[in-house]
Structures are given as structure tokens and as C-alpha cells.
Structure 1
């Protein structure tokens, strides 16, 4: 799927001249990026390059300093908290560690975002939870506790929770972290299932090269707070950029040398 490269499609997420400082650290340095409906984008680059900070701006979790982020044509900066809460319903989030509540069962964890938004109807909650768990292939695990789950199952519960509110886009923070290759492959298949079968746009922060080349329609390479490079999997393999070639080679060293 290469919808992302079509000039005829309107972006779901549009970012312009986005800057962010934390003290003296200039973390985002004028980021410009469009993310299109129905594509899977992988945000890659060295740690500290600005990937997580960029996603937190998409989720409206950080105060805007300068620049613009639009979701579905709506500018986020300056919106009231109530308006932002409505926008956030369009964007789901799967955290790196799953962020499950240890004292809650699987079904309670998955239902939590709906309950927080005021949905109390038991039949509706039960139906939505079962639907989400079926999508991530955990149907029948509703009563299990997080302590009874494998690492891969916890990730899938977190993914079910991310999709429970039927978002248009899901952001993933290192979804393959701590997983063996077989379980990582399962997560990749679910990401593509959400894209192809449910029309969800995926924004994936990851360092896992195997997964990047399995799932990405477009790779966004961040370096020193900027979009250094973007393109398809074929294009990144063909790149002669020394920073890109070190990334492909799996270098974890100093990317400035």
C-alpha cells in the first residue's frame, strides 16, 4: 500500500514548522510532516532524535511552543481541554510497556478508556471489549489478570485498549520492545490487519529493522530534531546517505561520525 505518496490524498495529520525546547535542548527543530489516511509510517532514528516528542505533540500531550499540528484539518494549538479530548478520540496510543493496570482484569483494562469518557452501559462495554479482543486474537481471555499474561499478550491487551474507542489513527511507542521474533511478527500482522481491514492509520516508533521492512509504507528518519529523510523501504535500501546506511547496517554508535 503506497497511498501515502499520492498527491491526491488529504493528510490525516499535518505538521508544520514544529519546534520544542526542554531547557537548552532544542528537541524539535522545525518539523514538517504529513501523515496520510490509511498508511503505516515508521518513525526511526537514534534515541533522542525527537520521535517520542513529535508523537506527544500529535497526541496533544505537550504544550505547544511554536508551529502547527492539525488532525483531520483541525489545528490543535489553542484548543480548550474539552475540545482536545474530542480530538484525542481520533488517535489511540499503545505505550512501550503496555501500561496495564495490574489490579484490573483484561476486560477492565480494555474498557478503561470508554469508562473514562462516561460510557457506563454494561452491554455496550461488553460488546466493545469483546470486539477489540477478537481483533487482537485474545477472545476468551477477558477474565485473566496481567500477571497471568505473557509479554506478547500484554502488548495485545494494550493494543485492544488503543482501538476500543475506534480511533482513526494509532501511535505505537516501540511495540516490539522485549519481544522475541515470533511474537514481534504477530504484532506486525495485527498492525497491518488494522490498516487493511479497519482503515486505521499507524504511526510506529521502532528500532526493529525487521519489523520496519515488514510493515512500513513510508519510513520517516529523524535526526537531531529534524526530518532527515523519508521514503519507502526500497528507497531507504538504495540510499547513499551515510547516516541512513549506518542505520541500515544496525549501527548503535555515534551517528555524527
Structure 2
């Protein structure tokens, strides 16, 4: 089995709080995994360990074969080029055009200074337009990013992530700031593209209905611990809601 993520006995403490408390998790190539749980359960902290933004106090984290506890400098940068991120707040540069924002996804492999669209290689510009077409925004390529709606901006962020050519996609509450209709559209787009491109996805979500609708496996976290790990097909909303209730026992099962 091709393991993209391998976490064993991960512990991360902030002050008196154990954000991750002995977490063990394996994610295989091509899996679409949702992390669910209440605020403070450790979802974002776990994601931050997967691209080296956080380092474990103890335990091990390996991503794409790289040990994140020891990766530094060039090795860490090389890994991050292989890991795409989709954020809750889009993180676009509002004054730049949509196309320029998508092109920044290529900076990890081509870090030369760029001053305007014409300074990018023609192949990169063509690829950026293609990615915008996939998210339905090719006609907005030369529009300022901050003139778009929230859902449109998140679609630009997805195109930027694709420009990076990632093997693993991390999405941290990617639709939390969107209305229900836009959230459904963005989730459908994100997971359809990742399925088409055979990308591995680990996505933190608060909305359990979205986790059930779009992911293939659900990992529930509470108080920094894994309390649920099941194929989505074996779950329903009631079982997922119990992840959010401290007094309710939830058995950990084998992942898909």
C-alpha cells in the first residue's frame, strides 16, 4: 500500500493544552479524507503538521516519505512544493488579476521575480488559463481578484493549488466562510478535480453533511485524540454528531 501520510503517536502541546494527544493516522494514495470534530479538537494542528508548519513534541509524522520532525531548509521546501493548500480565507492578492494569482502557484518551482503576466513563460500562462477553465473562471482571468464573490475567490484558490502540481492536497475548512449554495459548489468542484487527477486529500470540515457527501473516509477528533475512523459509506449524520458530544463513546474503526 502506498502511504502518503504516516502519523504515529503524535503529541503537540501549546501551554497546558494538548492539541494532539497520541494521534495515529495513515492516509493512502488517492484517499479523500475528512477531519471532523468540535473547535479545539486538533484538526488544524494536525493539518499544520502535514506541511511542516508545526513540529511534533513527540511521535513521528511522515508525508510523501519525508520525516517532518527533521526536515529543514531545501528538503522541507521540496516537500511543500508537493503539498497543495486550500485555506478558509482564500489568501489571494486582491489587487492582482485572477490570472496572476493562479500563476503564483508555480513560484515554488520557478522562484524568479515576476513583474506582470507577460514575464511568465508562455507555457505557465497557458496552464493557468487551463486551470481557470476547469474551475469555470477562464472568462475572469484579467479581472481583479478582490472583485469576485467569496465562492469565486475560493475557486481561484483551487486553480492556484492545481498550478502547483501537488500530490497531496490539504484543505483547512475550505468552505467555512461561504453560504451553503457556494459551499456545495466549491466542495463538488474541489473533490471532483481531485478525483479526476487522482490526488490525495485531507480536508478539515465542521459541516458533517459535506463530509458525508463528498469524502470517502471520516476521521473524528476530540480533545486531540482520534475517536472515529470509518469509511463514509458506513456512517450517518447521527453517528457523526456523537463525535461532538464528550460523554458519548465512539468506537474507532478501520479506515477505508
- Answering whether residue 166 of structure 2 is matched by residue 174 of structure 1, we say no
Q: Which residue of 2 aligns with 1:21?
A: 13
> How is 1:1-257 mapped onto 2 (pairs within 5 angstroms)?
9-115=1-107, 117-118=109-110, 121-237=120-236, 244-247=240-243, 255-256=246-247
Mapped contact 1:188–1:214 kept (Cα < 8 A): no
Displacement after TM superposition at 1:125 (Å):
2.2
Displacement after TM superposition at 1:131 (Å):
2.2
TM-score after normalising by structure 1 = 0.87
SS at structure 1 position matched to 2:138: coil
Q: Cα RMSD over matched residues? A: 2.0
Give the gaps of 5 or more residues in structure 2: 113-119, 249-256
TM-score after normalising by structure 2 = 0.87
Give the gaps of 5 or more residues in structure 1: 1-8
Give distance in 2, aligned partners of 1:222 and 1:54.
10
Displacement after TM superposition at 1:45 (Å):
0.2
Following TM superposition, the consecutive aligned residue runs of length 4 or more in structure 1 with deviations greater than 4 angstroms are none
Mapped contact 1:191–1:202 kept (Cα < 8 A): no
